[in-house]
Amino acid sequence: MKTAIFGGTFNPVHVGHLIMAEEVLAQTECDKVLFVPANIPPHKEVLDPGAGFRLEMLRASLADNPAFGVSDCEILRTGISYSIDTIRYLVAAGITEPCPGLVIGDDLLEGFGGWKEAEAVIRESRVIVVHRSFTKRIAQRFPHTYVDNIIFPVSSTLIRERIRDNKAWRYLVPDAARKIIEAHGLYGLQAT
């Protein structure tokens, strides 16, 4: 089985995440996408309801797709979540095969050289680039696979803002995540 590791805050998970993961399955040799929610991402500040809620929303949202899985390894590891540490852990634990895929949004490519052990990430994984911000492929000097996915104009930040501002958001997240957000009054929503 070939696995693609898909990291992120998933704060909350949204339909854009699921579409990207499905495109990875359709356009690469991967037959599983393993979602790995970050404990503390190194590249952004997280204002969230807690890692437990993000993990719960992700597990509930992916439960009906056997090609999608979830690992809580970054949350359990605590501290800042670095891709190279996650790759090494998942391979050593036998959760993924050696040299798994690693999904990276094109919006992160510019700063990729500054990632912890960026050269090791390239050696120890198969980088899979997905479109998030740019419609055209961005040339890279390292080996990678580009997925020609549609750009779905939604982000977790946008969803949190829409919830906070009492704007329409329901169909931007999987129904299972919506139910958890509503039940617990996440992101400033009044609990039901």
Tell me the pLDDT tens digit for each residue of 81-115: 899 999 999 999 999 999 999 999 999 999 999 99
Report the Cα 185 to chain-centroid distance in Å. 23
Instruction: Please tell me the total number of residues recorded for the chain in this structure.
Output: 192
Contact 147, 129 (CB under 8 A): yes
Give the count of beta carbons closer than 10 Å to the beta carbon of residue 121.
Answer: 20
Task: Pull the structure tokens for residue 97.
Answer: 């095969």
> Check: CATH 3.40.50.620 for 3-156?
yes
Q: For residue 46, is pLDDT > 60?
A: no
Q: For residue 45, is pLDDT > 60?
A: no
Rounded Cα–Cα distance for residues 58 and 35 (Å): 8
Residue partners of 46: CB distance under 8 A and separation at least 6: 9, 11, 38, 40
Rounded Cα–Cα distance for residues 145 and 131 (Å): 12
Percentage with pLDDT > 70 across the chain: 94
pLDDT tens, position by position, 54-73: 999 999 999 999 999 999 99
Residue ranges of the domains in the chain? Answer: 3-156
Rounded Cα–Cα distance for residues 92 and 98 (Å): 8
Bigger pLDDT: 40 vs 106: 106
**What stretch of H or E contains 101?**
strand 101-105
Rounded Cα–Cα distance for residues 112 and 89 (Å): 20
